[in-house]
Homo-oligomer: A and B are copies of this chain.
Amino acid sequence: MLITRTAALRAAFTQIRAQTSILVQRLSAEDCMVQSMPDASPIKWHLAHTSWFFETFVLAQALRDFKPFDPAYRMLFNSYYVGVGERHPRPMRSVLSRPGLDEVRAYRAHVEHGIDTLLARGMLKAEQLDLIELGLHHEQQHQELILTDLKHHLWCNPLHPAFHDRSPVQPAAVPPQRWLRFSGGLAEIGRPATGFAFDNEGPRHGMWLQPYELATRPVSNAEYQAFIEDGGYRQPQLWLSDGWDCVVREGWQAPLYWLEDGTSHFTLAGEQPLPPHAPVCHLSYYEAEAYARWAGARLPSEAEWEHAAGTVWPPGPDEGNFLEDAIFAPCASASEGLAQCFGDVWEWTGSAYLPYPGFRPACGAVGEYNGKFMINQMVLRGGSCATPRHHIRPSYRNFFPPSARWQFSGVRLARDAQST
């Protein structure tokens, strides 16, 4: 049984690490240096940090004669684990021209060899296998961040260079949004009994839900455009107070990456016409919430979302727009029913990111993974066009501050069940 798990992990390790390499293979060393804002990181840093994770939490623990690839990396590529020691200051990550990308690639290879050797030997304890599995999910999170940080970086370059040249075919028409009714009651929420989940997804627990309705699909660009044209960004009454402050301070007039003409936007394939039926994307929580108010609706709670999304899980192999589709932009869908829960855009919920009842973080430094961020953030659900297909699940809790816009974040409407 343990052997089987080991073999599966070994294959996953190879595949997922390779996927990271493929993702960045056409980028230059210079491209991998850029940090366009403190919230983003250079791609080189992502490549090193995901290796640091395996080296620090697996190799350094499992190898009796462990020698670090470079002792300085322990500090350089530590993101936020105070239990591990000092960190290089986050906003200064772009200053690290040394180690160079070649050296970071050698570091990746070194760590991969180490982990693979351990897995090949098959002598790892369950806790060590758990940490490798955690490291793989961690790597997948950084695959998505590589794309979102890269998009912001290319946007900040006045040349607006493209990362790739694949543009999706968008359908000319899509079904209108409809409301689906859920009867509520006592719902089970949180990580299922089997399969990987982050600590923040547990424990599974009951939630009492009022009857509610969920939109069949995310809000589209065309629908959001109507909000803008109706003066959405000029009416403080539509906004949370902090949100309106943000609108004024940042001069927001449209979602991030929309160009001034209002009919095109910047994508990883460069400037493109805005597809009217594709989900609107790169919204802050404030914008999602204001839109919902304007539309006479509200955001779903994370429990409502999870309860509903569980009914369409898992998506079929042809469904969903994920990282592997290599479009890296949300697409319109012609599906009927509860559509696009997984992939395309993360959906802001109206739930604050807080511990579930009975939550316990893992022991040791790895316990800092999620728990210490449970304040001042809101939960998003469902994954995006930049999320690896096998990374997402109904109980998955993503989280960002309400002002964040550089993720592939959109909105699906909810409302209290209408009496009939």
Residues in A lying within 8 Å of B, measured CB to CB: 28-31, 33-36, 44, 72, 75-76, 80, 82-83, 88, 92, 94-98, 100-101, 153, 156-159, 161, 186, 205-208, 210, 236-237, 239-243, 285-286, 289, 298, 301, 350-352, 354-355, 357-358, 368, 372-376, 402, 416
Contacts and interface: CB of A to CB of B under 8 A. Distances in A.
- What is the copy number of this chain in the assembly? 4
A164 B366 CA distance: 40
Given A100-B30, A354-B351, A357-B210, A153 B95 contact: yes
B92 A156 contact: yes
Contacts of A372: 239-241
A158 B98 CA distance: 10
Given A30-B101, A157-B96, A373-B240, A208 B206 contact: yes
B350 A33 contact: no
Nearest to A82: B236
Given A98-B159, A242-B375, A352-B354, 13 more contacts: A30-B33, A30-B44, A30-B101, A31-B97, A33-B33, A33-B34, A33-B94, A35-B94, A75-B158, A76-B159, A92-B156, A97-B157, A237-B368
Contacts of A161: 98
14 contacts: A28-B100, A30-B100, A31-B98, A33-B34, A76-B159, A80-B241, A92-B156, A95-B157, A98-B157, A241-B373, A289-B375, A301-B357, A350-B355, A376-B376
B88 A158 contact: yes
Nearest to A153: B95
A40 B36 CA distance: 16
Contacts of A94: 33-35, 94
A310 to B, nearest CB: 17
Contact of A210 (B33, B289, B358): B358
A376 B354 contact: no
A203 to B, nearest CB: 9
A329 B34 CA distance: 30
A77 to B, nearest CB: 11
A237 B94 CA distance: 27
A410 to B, nearest CB: 19
B72 A158 contact: yes
A153 B33 CA distance: 14
B237 A83 contact: yes
A217 B207 CA distance: 28
Contacts of A206: 208, 210
Nearest to A351: B354
Contacts of A373: 240-242
A156 B93 CA distance: 10
B375 A240 contact: yes
A29 to B, nearest CB: 5
Minimum-distance CB pairs A-B, first 7: A352-B352, A30-B97, A208-B208, A33-B33, A31-B97, A241-B372, A82-B236
Nearest to A189: B208
B416 A402 contact: no
Which among A208, A239, A355 has the greatest number of chain B C-beta atoms within 10 A?
A208
A87 to B, nearest CB: 10
Contacts of A243: 375
Nearest to A360: B416
